[in-house]
Amino acid sequence: MSVAERFGASIEVDGPDPETEGFFLVTRREAVDHEAFVTGLLGLFGTGGRLVLHHPSGFAIVRMSFGRAQRLKQFQWVEAVGGVQFDPERLAAVTGDPEP
């Protein structure tokens, strides 16, 4: 018997709407080549505009829906996926890229 059943409680955990877009940090498994990792991400999104940045140390920041981020976790070459918040204008100033 679970704790919820003992107390006659119901537990509901609602996440964000699966279609809500956000920024996500995606890390690759150490054994995965970085170029293959980036190519895999681009293949999933079909456009480079969703790949905000990536680094050879093994991570990328991508813009995608919450539902897609959850599905991304199933790929063998992905180590972890988590939401991030940042200011795109500040990022552009630091990286020297034109503002998004």
Distance CA 22, CA 40 (A): 19
What are 60-74's pLDDT values in tens digits?
999 999 998 999 999
Instruction: Give the position of tokens 């955990």.
Output: 13
Instruction: Give the position of tokens 């970085």.
Output: 34
Q: Phi/psi of residue 76, each to 5°?
A: -60, -30
DSSP secondary structure string for all residues of 32-56? S-HHHHHHHHHHHHSSGGGEEEEET
Token pair for 78:
């992905």
Whether this model's pTM surpasses 0.85: no
Distance CA 6, CA 15 (A): 25
Q: Output the pLDDT for position 25.
A: 94
Token pair for 73:
């976790």
Residue 13 has pLDDT above 80, yes or no: no
